[in-house]
């Protein structure tokens, strides 16, 4: 519950079905419901295709290897423009507003409070004068938003509704309203078509109230009036779809007949949210959000205020609440497609970064990061739905940019796969890691569910396309294969330009993609590429410790490190299954672990110098996710906790939505990222091992979590701990039996993934079957946390 108001859409509350989303905001007696659809991207930008750079590659490579990165960037732009690419940055098509519905309550004063129920995906706005409540919900998987207006006293409530295309630009980006023509229709329903000129890409919104609608004097909107009887309800159904009317929702597909029936339709969303719950020190879980209309509960702003003041119990409660709300919003924003930067929510004609799919970190480290480990791996298939339809675009990208076969995926996309978004400052066309990162996601879906059906012909084409690109686009020198030019998102050496050689992230992704491809090959029963993947990995340059003792962001030693940056992409080797170069007792592995720790400490120290929104340093929430995941893999519970608490305290709003920067810019990165880091602190896994409590901070002396997923098709039904013991209940999904036919697995407690198997480490051999089995370990003898 919050007593704050929502003058802007970015202060609003959100509901989503995965396919459609609504933002509810406003002040006093007027509330606006801004509607969006996962497939409604405004065709606002040209599609010039990837730049023709292949003929100039030798010039670019010579400049990079000579340390002349700025010259390489200038040559890249000159070659691209000469070949016909635009001089200006080409943006992705933005996520658009389908329509806005404004509700005005007659005689209403200011709202008294707003309530959020993430478990059921419902929100409500409450007035005391008159005594009325507006509820909103969006049944899972559907294309409807339902509003219920309930009069709480023996007084008739009058409502005026207006459906139009209104909204206001607020983020400073280019406005896109001019690319749409709204067409409204009055009658038994109110309707608006947000026309793009292409019926297949236009959005339709139909509002059903049971009352007649009339056109406004301006012709740009339609209106109706509702009268809610004393102690009664009025239902408002909003259908939203993209494409031809024949593809829209039916008129009679299960309309609820009251608020309770509406609540019953939220069961599918609630079931997904309830798959995982976190409790810390006795608080957390569903009881953290009340579904009644009581006024005596503590507001979110008061809870956050206590936590920021240092109250330890409040800090734990904030983390547990953020875990719940974050997972709920990531689920609500995932439908056929994954969440965009803003999920499936839009309230501006000028969204930051087009509210697109930014694939060099935001999607994978942000909104999607927690889907697999916190119990909803099937939702991660949405990423494949986004990328696999555009394989031909990726082949063209490879030919035009690198002069090779194979597939080069773009760093940003929405409606196509052309790699046309780049500039000298952001040379995204030379970030080659996206394809391999998608393979990691696909492999983890298989590894946690046992579902082999996802490895279809299209995904296997991508597996081979990523491999072929790496084989042909790397340059041989000194017995190794190198990526030149290369780009580490979105950083540059101090005082330099961004084009480098062998960005650590891209090398790490290729190494990891080989492991991911092996999982997918086993699922498909096709090992024809295994040897080629292995040869590629053996040919790549090793990781490097930089002169300052940190993990080098670019393996070539021509450039110094730049720690004053929001990204830490070089830590990719520690985000999933830790890279084998970091494992074991060897001097080299120990040096890499120490370097990674030094990197984490340097980036945390930089942020701590001014932990506020830009021009401060608390910019880009998923940068904290990158640090937190790596810290958890290293057993650095202190650093992981710092990242989790910064995410929760500085990137959550009173409405339980999340922001890109500290307290600024609506964005879903923290919503998915915080649960992912918490999960990594509590459970880590490989195909053969599960590590419990690898990075448990002293500030969480007792707690429990349910529903986490581990590789090997294992479900962590329940994990609980206190000062003395750790208890875990595990089972293996029946469909995942092929992953480990003998059912065996190793269990380690209190050991960081990178230290598993080190001297003195205790491994418990167990058999995990389809029936839940519980083990209890004494914390004192289980192995000290690193």
- The enclosing domain of 751 has a CATH number of 2.60.40.1180
CB 349 within 8 A of CB 35: no
Q: Number of structural domains, the chain? A: 3
CB 106 within 8 A of CB 156: no
Quote the CA–CA distance of 583 and 593 in Å, as a whole number: 8
Q: What is the pLDDT of residue 7?
A: 94
Could you write out the DSSP letters of every residue in 453-522? TT--HHHHHHHHHHHHHHHHHSEEETTEEE-SSB--TT---TTS-S-BSSBHHHHHHHHHHHHHHHHHHH
Select from 541, 572, 603 the last residue of a domain: 541
Quote the CA–CA distance of 470 and 533 in Å, as a whole number: 10
CB 273 within 8 A of CB 324: yes
In the three-class reduction of DSSP (H, G, I as helix; E, B as strand; rest coil), residue 742 is classed as coil
Same domain, 38 and 58: no
Q: What is the pLDDT of residue 255?
A: 47
Average pLDDT over residues 129-158: 93
Quote the CA–CA distance of 110 and 532 in Å, as a whole number: 66
Same domain, 142 and 165: yes
Same domain, 119 and 195: yes
pLDDT bucket at 13, cuts 50 / 70 / 90: very high
pLDDT bucket at 259, cuts 50 / 70 / 90: low
The pair of structure tokens assigned to 113 is: 């409070």
Burial 249-287 (b: 16+ CB within 10 A, else e): beeeeeebeebeebbebbeebbebbbbbbbbbbebbbbe
Same domain, 379 and 493: yes
> Which of 43-52, 200-209, 224-233, 245-254 bottoms out in mean pLDDT, i.e. has the lowest?
245-254
In the three-class reduction of DSSP (H, G, I as helix; E, B as strand; rest coil), residue 66 is classed as coil
Closest CA relative to residue 330, chosen from 318, 347, 343, 319:
343
- The enclosing domain of 190 has a CATH number of 2.70.98.50
Residues 6+ apart with CB under 8 A from 522: none
Average pLDDT over residues 538-563: 97
Residue 416, CA distances (Å) to 19, 33, 48, 92, 419 in order = 19, 29, 11, 9, 9
Same domain, 699 and 746: yes
Q: What is the residue range of 416's domain?
A: 53-84+356-541
Per-residue model confidence as pLDDT tens digits over 407-457: 999 999 999 999 999 999 999 999 999 999 999 999 999 999 999 999 999
The pair of structure tokens assigned to 417 is: 């796969």
Per-residue model confidence as pLDDT tens digits over 604-626: 999 999 999 999 999 999 999 99
In the three-class reduction of DSSP (H, G, I as helix; E, B as strand; rest coil), residue 701 is classed as coil
Same domain, 185 and 72: no
The pair of structure tokens assigned to 688 is: 């053969």
* Residue 254 pLDDT > 90: no
- 293 lies in some domain: no
Q: What is the pLDDT of residue 419?
A: 98
Between the two ends of the chain, the Cα-to-Cα distance in Å is: 39
Residues 6+ apart with CB under 8 A from 388: 458, 459, 462
Per-residue model confidence as pLDDT tens digits over 175-200: 899 999 999 999 999 999 999 999 99
Same domain, 178 and 209: yes
10 Å Cβ neighbour count for 507? 29
pLDDT bucket at 782, cuts 50 / 70 / 90: very low
- The enclosing domain of 454 has a CATH number of 1.50.10.10
Beta strand extents in 243-323 (DSSP E only): 278-280, 283-284
Same domain, 111 and 202: yes
Per-residue model confidence as pLDDT tens digits over 570-595: 999 999 999 999 999 999 999 999 99
Using CA atoms of 606, 612, 614, 615 in order, give the dihedral in degrees to the nearest 10. Answer: -70
Quote the CA–CA distance of 345 and 332 in Å, as a whole number: 10
- 570 lies in some domain: no
Q: Enumerate the β-bridge partners of residue 24.
A: 13, 33
- 602 lies in some domain: no
Residues 6+ apart with CB under 8 A from 62: none
Q: What is the pLDDT of residue 174?
A: 73
Average pLDDT over residues 236-265: 66
Same domain, 475 and 503: yes
For 534-539, which contacts have Cβ atoms below 8 Å and span 24 or more sequence positions? Answer: 536/467, 536/470, 536/471, 536/481, 536/510, 537/510, 537/511, 539/474, 539/479, 539/480, 539/481
Quote the CA–CA distance of 636 and 323 in Å, as a whole number: 20
Q: What is the pTM of this model?
A: 0.96
In the three-class reduction of DSSP (H, G, I as helix; E, B as strand; rest coil), residue 345 is classed as coil
Q: What is the pLDDT of residue 256?
A: 46
With a pLDDT cut of 90, the percent of the chain lying above it is 88
Q: What is the pLDDT of residue 252?
A: 43
Question: Tokens 């200006």 appear where?
Answer: 88
Quote the CA–CA distance of 35 and 192 in Å, as a whole number: 12
CB 319 within 8 A of CB 139: no
Closest CA relative to residue 276, chosen from 736, 636, 672, 785:
672
Select from 525, 541, 557 the last residue of a domain: 541
Q: What is the pLDDT of residue 293?
A: 52
- 631 lies in some domain: no
Quote the CA–CA distance of 774 and 753 in Å, as a whole number: 22
Per-residue model confidence as pLDDT tens digits over 89-142: 999 999 999 999 999 998 888 878 999 999 999 999 999 989 999 999 999 999
Q: What is the pLDDT of residue 107?
A: 84
- 313 lies in some domain: no
- 321 lies in some domain: no
Question: Tokens 């129920």 appear where?
Answer: 117
Closest CA relative to residue 338, chosen from 5, 38, 731:
38
- 564 lies in some domain: no
The pair of structure tokens assigned to 283 is: 């608080």
* Edge-to-edge strand list for the sheet holding 181-185: 111-117, 122-127, 132-137, 144-151, 233-242, 203-208, 190-195, 181-185
Same domain, 171 and 204: yes
Q: What is the pLDDT of residue 291?
A: 47
Same domain, 35 and 58: no
- 310 lies in some domain: no
| Cβ neighbourhood burial of 392 (10 Å; 0-12, 13-18, 19+) | exposed
| Cβ neighbourhood burial of 470 (10 Å; 0-12, 13-18, 19+) | buried
Could you write out the DSSP letters of every residue in 67-94? T-HHHHHHHHHHHHHHTT--SSPPPPPP
Could you write out the DSSP letters of every residue in 526-550? --TTHHHHHHHHHHSPPP-B-TTSS
Same domain, 79 and 149: no
The pair of structure tokens assigned to 453 is: 């059906």
* Residue 534 pLDDT > 50: yes
Report which secondary-structure segment, H or E, holds 33: strand 30-37
* Residue 716 pLDDT > 90: yes
Q: What is the largest CA-CA distance in the chain?
A: 84
* Residue 253 pLDDT > 50: no
Select from 509, 541, 573 the last residue of a domain: 541
In the three-class reduction of DSSP (H, G, I as helix; E, B as strand; rest coil), residue 567 is classed as coil
Q: What is the pLDDT of residue 786?
A: 29
Per-residue model confidence as pLDDT tens digits over 627-686: 999 999 999 999 999 999 999 999 999 999 999 999 999 999 999 999 999 999 999 999
């Amino acid at each position: 519950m919050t007593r704050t108001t929502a003058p802007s859409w970015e202060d609003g509350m959100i509901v989503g079905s995965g396919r459609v989303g609504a933002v509810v905001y406003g002040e006093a007696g007027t509330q606006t419901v801004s509607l969006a659809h996962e497939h409604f991207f405004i065709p606002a930008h040209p599609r010039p295709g990837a730049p023709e750079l292949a003929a100039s590659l030798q010039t670019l490579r010579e400049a990079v290897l000579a340390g002349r990165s700025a010259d390489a960037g200038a040559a890249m732009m000159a070659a691209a423009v000469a070949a016909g690419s635009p001089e200006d940055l080409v943006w992705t098509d933005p996520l658009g507003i389908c329509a806005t519905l404004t509700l005005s309550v007659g005689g209403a004063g200011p709202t008294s409070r707003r309530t959020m129920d993430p478990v059921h995906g419902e929100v409500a706005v409450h007035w005391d004068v008159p005594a009325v409540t507006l509820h909103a919900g969006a049944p899972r998987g559907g294309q409807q938003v339902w509003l219920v207006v309930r009069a709480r006293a023996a007084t008739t409530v009058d409502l005026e509704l207006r459906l139009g295309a209104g909204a206001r630009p607020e983020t400073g980006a280019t406005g896109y309203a001019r690319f749409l023509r709204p067409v409204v229709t009055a009658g038994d329903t109110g309707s608006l078509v947000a026309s793009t000129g292409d019926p297949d890409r236009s959005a339709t919104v139909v509002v059903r109230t049971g009352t007649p609608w009339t056109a406004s004097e301006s012709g740009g909107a339609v209106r109706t009036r509702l009268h809610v009887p004393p102690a009664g309800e009025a239902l408002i159904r909003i259908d939203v779809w993209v494409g031809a009317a024949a593809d829209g929702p039916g008129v009679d597909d299960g309309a609820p007949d009251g608020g309770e029936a509406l609540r019953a339709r939220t069961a599918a969303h609630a079931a997904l949210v309830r798959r995982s719950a976190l409790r810390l020190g006795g608080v957390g879980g569903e009881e953290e959000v009340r579904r009644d209309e009581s006024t005596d509960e503590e507001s979110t702003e008061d809870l956050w205020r206590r936590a920021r003041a240092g109250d330890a119990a409040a800090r734990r409660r904030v983390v547990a609440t953020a875990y719940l709300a974050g997972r709920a919003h990531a689920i609500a924003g995932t439908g056929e497609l994954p969440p965009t930067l803003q999920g499936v929510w839009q309230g501006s004609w000028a969204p930051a970064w087009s509210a697109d799919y930014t694939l060099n970190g935001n999607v994978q480290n942000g909104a999607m990061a927690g889907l697999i480990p916190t119990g909803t791996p099937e939702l991660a298939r949405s990423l494949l739905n986004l990328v696999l339809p555009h394989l031909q675009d990726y082949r063209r990208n490879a030919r035009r940019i690198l002069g090779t076969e194979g597939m080069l995926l773009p760093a940003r996309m929405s409606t196509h796969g052309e790699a046309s978004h780049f500039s000298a400052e952001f040379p995204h066309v030379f970030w080659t890691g996206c394809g391999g990162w998608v393979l990691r996601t696909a492999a983890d879906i298989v590894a946690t569910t046992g579902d082999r059906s996802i490895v279809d012909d299209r995904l296997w084409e991508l597996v081979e396309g990523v491999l072929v690109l790496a084989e042909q686009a790397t340059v041989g020198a000194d017995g190794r294969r190198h990526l030149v030019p290369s780009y580490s998102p979105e950083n540059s050496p101090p005082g330099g330009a961004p084009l480098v050689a062998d960005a650590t992230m891209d090398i790490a992704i290729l190494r990891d993609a080989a492991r991911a491809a092996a999982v997918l090959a086993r699922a498909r029963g096709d090992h024809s590429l295994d040897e080629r993947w292995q040869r590629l990995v053996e040919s790549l340059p090793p990781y490097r410790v930089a002169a300052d003792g940190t993990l080098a962001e670019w393996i070539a030693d021509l450039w110094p490190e730049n720690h004053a940056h929001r990204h830490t992409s070089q830590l990719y080797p520690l985000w999933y299954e830790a890279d084998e170069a970091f494992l074991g007792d060897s001097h080299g592995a120990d040096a890499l672990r120490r370097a990674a720790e030094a990197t984490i400490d340097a980036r945390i120290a930089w942020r701590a110098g001014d932990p506020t929104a830009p021009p401060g340093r608390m910019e880009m929430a998923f940068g904290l996710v990158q640090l937190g995941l790596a810290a958890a893999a290293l057993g650095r519970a202190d650093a992981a906790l710092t990242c989790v608490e910064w995410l929760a305290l500085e990137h959550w709003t009173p409405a339980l939505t999340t922001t890109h920067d500290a307290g600024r810019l609506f964005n879903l990165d923290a919503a998915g990222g915080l649960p992912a880091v918490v999960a990594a602190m509590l459970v880590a896994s490989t195909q053969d091992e599960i590590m419990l409590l690898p990075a448990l901070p002293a500030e969480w002396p007792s707690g429990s979590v349910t529903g986490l997923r581990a590789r090997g098709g294992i479900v962590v039904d329940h994990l609980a701990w206190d000062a003395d013991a750790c208890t875990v209940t595990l089972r293996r999904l029946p469909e995942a039996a092929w992953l480990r036919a003998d059912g065996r697995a190793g269990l380690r407690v209190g050991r960081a993934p990178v230290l598993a198997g080190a001297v003195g480490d205790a491994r418990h051999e167990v058999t995990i079957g389809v029936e839940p089995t519980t083990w209890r370990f004494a914390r004192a003898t289980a192995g000290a946390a690193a």
